[in-house]
Amino acid sequence: MKKINPLGVHWLILSKTWDADGARHAIREAKRIGYDFIETPPCPPDDPVTRIVAETLAETGLGATVCLGLAADQDPTSPDPEVRARGEAFLIEAVDTCARIGGFMVSGITYSAFQKYLAPCSDQGRAAAVAVIRRVAEHALPLGVEIGLEVVNRYETNLLNTAAQALAFCEATGMANVKIHLDSYHMNIEEADIGQAILTAGDRIGFFHIGDSNRGYLGAGNIDFAPYFRALLQAGFTGPISFESFSSTMIDQPLLGILAIWRDTWEDGGDLAAHSFQVMQALVKSAREAHARAAA
């Protein structure tokens, strides 16, 4: 997207389902609030809902990404070549869907299964994941789609928990369209120095998720977002920033269990999304003003 720091929202905040009605509602509501793009799930490219999503995005002028987390039987780090092949095929299909709806990125836990592991990732597993992501990125490059590697906490992957790990992985793929996807919720758990982590990722950052420590309203948890936004500006990040939050009001198993969302962190997704849009605008503006004062 050409706009500096376009703001987005995850679809599960605005709709419980991604059928025709749910997709139309989420996209139109995101547009009404003022968002620039929406994160969508990975429907097959020839699914009728994908056509409706493409039409509704065109109607509203909203941008889009495809967000996902791979299942255990799609794990690119698996020693089983059939499991790795399923993961690669699923990612390539997501890339095709992203291109079909006019989206700009496929991101999330694209490099391993989205689950709690009971052992560290092996060197062989990491190398296998690098090879899968390289091939997927090669497929995505002529379609104008980037591949994001979301850095998440230790309970959701055993491979990329820090910005430094993600940077090394990006560089190992050798593909310029492979980008780092940072998330304040996960960084709050794993990073020792937020500012340094963002500066380490530097110009390989392609996407940023904002979410509070309790997955609820921004400001209801314990995260001070100002340092994140100042560091992003210092790193020269002009890319997309999206709000992500989960509540048991909107999600079911298996996602409910993987994320360990055991209570209603919020009930009104429209109100949550509107509040978060205002907070995000304020944070971006405040960071820019602080940066301008420091440069004066």
d(CA 190, CA 196) in angstroms, rounded, equals 13
Asked whether 188 and 179 are in contact (CB, 8 A), the reply is: no
Q: What's the token pair of residue 261?
A: 């969302």
SS3 state of residue 68 = strand
d(CA 94, CA 84) in angstroms, rounded, equals 15
d(CA 252, CA 197) in angstroms, rounded, equals 33
Residues 6+ apart with CB under 8 A from 117: 157, 158
Asked whether 36 and 7 are in contact (CB, 8 A), the reply is: yes
- CA 263 centroid distance within chain: 23
Asked about 150 being catalytic, the answer comes back as yes
* Active-site residue, selected from the candidate residues 29, 150, 156, 191: 150
* Active-site residue, selected from the candidate residues 39, 146, 191, 244: 244
CA angle 164, 150, 257 (to 5 degrees): 125
Catalytic residue annotation: 150, 244
